Amino acid sequence: MLERMAKGLWWNGADTGGLNNANTNLPILFLPQTIAAMDKQWYAAVNNDGTPKSRDPAYEIVGPQVFRFEYWYLLKNGNLTDVPWDTDARPTQTTIDTPSGIGLTDVQAIGVAIAVIDPTSRSLVSSTNATGLFDLASDLDDFKTAPGRGVGGAKKAGDIEYRWNTVLETVAQTGQTSAPSKFPPPAASAIRVYCRYYDLRTQ
C-alpha cells in the first residue's frame, strides 16, 4: 500500500498515475522541472485563489511563525550547493532518480534556514502594509542566487544567515523593503534567523 510521508512524497518514491493525471502524487522535483509547471498535481502550492483546489488539507506549515524557508546541500567534498550531487566529479549527471541516478550518494547533509516572526511583530506589519511580509520574504536571498563571501562567490556555511540578517538590519534602519513597501523597524528587529544541518551520513 502506498502511504504519503508528505505531499507528493511516497514511501516507494513513485505513483503510477502518470504525469497527465491531475490526481497523481509526484515525488520531489528537481530543476529544470518546477512545482509551478506541475500545477495539476501541486496546484495549492502555487495558487492562492480561494478555490477548493487551493485549500488542499494535505499541506502543513513549516512552523507557526515561519515566513521564509530555504535549503541546500552539504556535499561530502565540503562544498555547499543547490544541486544534490558533485558537479565536478559528475558533470553529466542530471538526476538522482533511478535508473540513471545516484541517489544522495554525494550528499553529507541538508542545510535548512528559516526566518521567524513572532505574532506581536506580525500584527505590526499587518496594520502597516498587508504585503510587507511577502515583500520582505522576497528580499531574503535564495541559496542559488545569494552571493557567497568566499573567493569567486563560493558559498560557505553561514552565508545565507549572514545575507538574511544584513537585509533585516537594513529594513530595521530604513523601515522599508526593496519593493519599496513600508515595514515597521521594531518588527524587522524582532525577526530571528535559524539554521540547522541534517546529517545524512550512514553509520
Percent of the chain residues topping a pLDDT of 90: 30
What does the pLDDT read at residue 28?
Answer: 59
Residue-wise pLDDT tens digits, 95-120? 777 566 677 889 999 999 999 999 99
Average pLDDT on 38-64 reads: 74
- Would you say residue 199 has pLDDT above 70? yes
Bigger pLDDT: 68 vs 20: 68
User: In sequence order, which residues have a C-beta less than 8 Å from that of residue 179 and are 6 or more positions away?
Assistant: 131, 135, 138
Q: How many helices (H) and strands (E) does the chain have?
A: 5, 6
The predicted pLDDT at position 17 comes to: 60
Task: Give me the mean pLDDT over the 133-138 stretch.
Answer: 90
Mean pLDDT, the chain, whole residue set: 79
Average pLDDT over residues 150-178: 84
- Please say if the pLDDT value at position 57 is more than 50: yes
> Is beta strand 66-75 parallel, antiparallel or unpaired with respect to 107-116?
antiparallel
Using pLDDT thresholds of 50, 70 and 90, give the confidence band for residue 4: very low
Phi-psi region of 90 (alpha: psi -120 to 50; beta: other; left: phi over 0): beta
In the chain, where are the structural domains located? 1-60, 66-199
Prediction pTM value = 0.72
| Range with the poorest average pLDDT among 15-19, 31-35, 89-93, 189-193 | 15-19
Q: What is the pLDDT of residues 79-95, one digit of tens each?
A: 998 888 888 888 888 77
Contact between residue 141 and residue 89 where contact means Cβ atoms under 8 Å apart: no
